[in-house]
Amino acid sequence: MAKQKFNIIKSTCIPVAIDNCNTDLIIPARYLASTTRDPKFFGDAFMHDLRYTADGQPVADFVMNQPEFSEAPREGVHEIIVGGQNWGSGSSREHAAWAISGYGVRVVISSSFADIHRNNLLNCFVLPVIVSKEFQQELFASIAADPNAVVTVDVPAQTVTNEATGNSEHFDINGYKKYCLMNALDDIDYLLSQKDKIEEFEAKA
């Protein structure tokens, strides 16, 4: 998936206020049989069964089909999803992270993430940002009041700011992963550089 270096992201948001939004909702199982890595294929499948009826018609009242939020992400616009709590629970399918990334989203903000999905997002260069429930609710309220409300995610400073209110929170990310995101580096390359240590470990075991 697309590897883009992280620094400061300043963007409007898509509010997906669904608690326990599981990865089956993020991408239904029938899109999993593919062997492709095409970002567009997965981006088109993002939230598919909430976005479209069984016969392919857009579901008018779903947030991503509302005129204020239907524009595809580009720099400064809809690069951030504000999600409900326990975002990404259920299946380990990384296809869910590919769908989010393929759609063009770079940051998901929630009060909690399922563990596997959170790792998958990071491995797909989508930043999961954990905020307090209060901050999450304030973001939903700001976006409801003004769909163009802007949120700033400052990766070097590890802060997320609701520009509508000026309120800000610190978020956690370990130093290694932060370095990887800011420099577009993969875990696999790190591991491949550790072959000596792995063989040493195997010899001892």
Partner 1 sequence: MNTLFDKIWDAHVVNKVEDGPTQLYIDRLYCHEVTSPQAFDTLRDKGIKAFRPDHIIAMPDHNTPSDQQEVINDPVGRKQVETLKANCEEFGIKHFAMGTKDNGIIHVVGPEKALSLPGMTIVCGDSHTSTHGAVGAIAMGIGTSEVAQVLASQCILQSKPKTMRINIEGELQQGVTAKDVALYIMARMTTAGATGYAVEYAGSTIRNMSMEGRLTLSNLSIEMGSRAGLIAPDETTFAYLKGREYAPKGEAWDKAVEEWKKLKSDDDAVFDKEVTYRAEDIKPRITYGTNPGAGIAIDECVPTYDGLSESEKAQLKSQLDYMQFQPGEKLEGHPVDYCFLGACTNGRIEDFRAFASVVKGRKKAENVVAWLVPGSWLVRQQIIDEGIDKILEEAGFELRLPSCSSCLAMNPDKVPAGKLSISTSNRNFVGRQGPGARTVLASPLVVAASAVTGVITDPRKL
The structure tokens listed for 98 are 């590919």
Q: Smallest gap, in angstroms, from Cβ of residue 23 to partner 1? A: 9
Which residues of the chain form contacts with partner 1 (CB under 8 A)? 19-20, 22, 24-25, 28-30, 32-35, 37, 49, 54, 85-86, 89-95, 97, 112-116, 119-120, 123-124, 174-177, 186-188, 190-192, 194-195, 197-198, 201-202, 205
* 119 in Cβ contact with 142 (< 8 Å): no
Report the residue number, 64 or 124, with the smaller CB distance to partner 1.
124
Q: Smallest gap, in angstroms, from Cβ of residue 137 to partner 1? A: 9
Pick left, alpha or beta for residue 20 (phi over 0 → left; psi -120 to 50 → alpha; otherwise beta). Answer: left
Report the residue number, 22 or 168, with the smaller CB distance to partner 1.
22
Q: Smallest gap, in angstroms, from Cβ of residue 166 to partner 1? A: 25
Report the residue number, 44 or 163, with the smaller CB distance to partner 1.
44
Q: Smallest gap, in angstroms, from Cβ of residue 17 to partner 1? A: 8
Where would I find the beta strands (DSSP E) of the chain?
A: 8-16, 80-83, 107-110, 127-130, 150-154, 159-162, 167-170
CB 88: neighbour CB atoms within 10 A? 30
Q: Smallest gap, in angstroms, from Cβ of residue 151 to partner 1? A: 21
d(CA 69, CA 48): 15
Report how far apart, in Å, the C-alpha atoms of 124 and of each of 5, 21, 35, 73 are. Answer: 12, 19, 17, 17
Determine how β-strand 80-83 pairs with β-strand 150-154: unpaired
Report the residue number, 71 or 200, with the smaller CB distance to partner 1.
200
Report the residue number, 40 or 197, with the smaller CB distance to partner 1.
197
